[in-house]
Amino acid sequence: QSVLTQPPSVSGAPGQRVTISCTGSSSNIGAGYDVHWYQHLPGTAPRVLIYGNSNRPSGVPDRFSGSKSGTSASLAITGLQAEDEANYYCHSYDSSLNSWVFGGGTKLTVL
């Protein structure tokens, strides 16, 4: 039901690398609109991890990186740590809906 499609869950062992995909269409990511990524621990305020496809705000470790190609974007997390266990959401703009749109969220489990 979400406009942007994310895998419901991913997992990895400490120290490993994981990627989370975000697939859109020609009216959002494919139209050139930026993709942003948020990390959310239930009960807390979400925080931005990546803005403008690949930019990290100050304070976000360089273990987090973002990329975009065509109608998709990806969030990569290297050197997985237990504290990375959270829900991750992608976000963009959709010109046909004239609205911000989000992915359904991906739950990252650190094994």
Partner 1 sequence: QVQLEQSGPGLVKPSQTLSLTCAISGDSVSSNSAGWNWLRQSPSRGLEWLGRTYYRSRWRSEYAVSVKSRITINPDTSKNQFSLQLSSVTPEDTAVYFCGRGRDGYLDYWGQGTLVTVSP
Residues engaged in binding partner 1 (CB under 8 A): 1-2, 33-34, 36, 38, 43-48, 51-52, 57, 89, 91, 93, 97-105
Between 51 and 64, name the residue whose CB sits nearer to partner 1.
Answer: 51
Report strand pairing: 106-110 vs 9-12: parallel
Q: Which three-class secondary structure state does DSSP give residue 43?
A: coil
Query: Do the Cβ atoms of 89 and 37 come closer than 8 Å?
Result: yes
Min dist CB 13 to partner 1, Å, is 28
| 4 Cβ neighbours under 8 A, 6+ residues apart | 22, 23, 24, 28, 29, 90, 91, 92, 101, 102, 103, 104
Between 40 and 63, name the residue whose CB sits nearer to partner 1.
Answer: 40
Min dist CB 3 to partner 1, Å, is 9
Min dist CB 72 to partner 1, Å, is 18
Between 12 and 104, name the residue whose CB sits nearer to partner 1.
Answer: 104
Min dist CB 47 to partner 1, Å, is 7
Nearest CA-CA partner of 18 in 90, 88, 80: 80
Between 82 and 98, name the residue whose CB sits nearer to partner 1.
Answer: 98
